[in-house]
């Protein structure tokens, strides 16, 4: 199979909306962990290892989707997305550097809890790949708030970048692609028979299929912004700062 750089960029752009969905899923997982913790607190229930570990795993996944969106977007966007772009967003520097601490050091990052809310309990110190000592300042708000604030800003940033790209049509699935897939031993014989009987109709249908993946991604990102704005309303975000607990 031959693949040009331009074709690869188009393919990556077509994957982008799925990665946005993953970003949304991980964000909501973080918020759900926070909601469940607050619910347990109000009911006077104690957490356990399983419930308290979920926020660590959810945040690790969330921060890694940021890396994925940055790298995938940089494949087809010009100029590329740089960490300096992300640093300018609310909590952008923390998301970037804490992602490194979680991925490369195994640091749990979110390991503080008080009155139902999860926090980063203190500044994080680590050495980077060059041996330089790095200080990662802990956010002064709880995990739900800083993830929602970052996600809103990051989503708006990606919308602007994708809007500037203009229209990109997703690569079409060819009849040859389907034929190749049907060669798999996992495909039952009756499926191949159905395909062969309707091959002409399927080929005509494929020619009519059109998709604008970046447009779909923009729609998803705007929905994330709306979700973040809703969850950051006062009725959801009567947050406390760690300094108030001292």
> Does residue 166 or residue 108 have the better pLDDT?
108
CA distances from 246 to 60, 114, 123, 138, 242 (A): 28, 11, 16, 16, 7
Q: Collect contacts of 61-64 with beta carbons under 8 A, ≥24 apart.
A: 61/26, 61/29, 62/23, 62/26, 62/27, 62/29, 62/30, 62/147, 63/95, 63/98, 63/99, 63/102, 63/103, 64/99, 64/103
Q: Is the pLDDT of residue 137 over 90?
A: yes
Instruction: Give the whole-angstrom CA distance, residue 136 versus residue 93.
Output: 8
Query: Measured in Å, how far apart are the chain's first and last C-alpha atoms?
Result: 63
Quote the strand ranges of the chain, DSSP E. 112-114, 117-119, 124-127, 133-136
Instruction: Give the whole-angstrom CA distance, residue 226 versus residue 231.
Output: 9
What confidence score (pLDDT) does residue 243 get? 39
Helix (H, G, I), strand (E, B) or coil at 123: coil
**What pLDDT digit, counting tens, does each position of 153-197 carry?**
999 999 999 988 765 555 666 667 777 777 788 878 887 788 788
What confidence score (pLDDT) does residue 194 get? 80
Q: Which two tokens stand for residue 56?
A: 């660590």
Whole-model pTM: value is 0.82
Share of the chain above pLDDT 70, in %: 83
**Arithmetic mean of pLDDT over the chain:** 86
């Amino acid at each position: 199979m031959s693949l040009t750089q331009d074709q690869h960029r188009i393919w990556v752009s077509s994957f982008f909306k799925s990665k946005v969905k993953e970003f949304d899923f991980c964000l909501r997982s973080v918020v759900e962990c926070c909601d469940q913790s607050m619910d347990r607190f109000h009911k006077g229930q104690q957490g356990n290892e399983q419930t308290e570990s979920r926020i660590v795993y959810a945040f690790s996944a969330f921060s890694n989707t940021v890396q994925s969106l940055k790298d995938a977007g940089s494949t087809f966007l010009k100029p590329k997305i740089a960490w300096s772009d992300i640093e300018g967003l609310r909590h952008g520097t923390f998301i970037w550097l804490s992602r490194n601490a979680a991925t490369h050091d195994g640091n749990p990052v979110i390991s503080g809890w008080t009155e139902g809310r999860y926090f980063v309990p203190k500044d994080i110190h680590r050495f980077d790949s060059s041996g330089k000592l790095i200080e990662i300042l802990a956010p002064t708000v709880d995990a739900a708030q800083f993830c929602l604030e970052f996600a809103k800003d990051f989503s708006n940033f990606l919308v602007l970048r994708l809007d500037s790209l203009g229209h990109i049509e997703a690569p079409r699935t060819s009849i040859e692609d389907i034929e190749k897939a049907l060669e798999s031993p996992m495909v039952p014989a009756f499926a191949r028979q159905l395909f062969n009987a309707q091959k002409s109709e399927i080929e005509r249908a494929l020619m009519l299929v059109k998709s604008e993946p970046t447009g779909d991604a923009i729609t998803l990102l705007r929905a994330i912004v709306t979700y973040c704005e809703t969850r950051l309303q006062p009725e959801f975000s009567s947050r406390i700062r760690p300094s108030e607990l001292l």
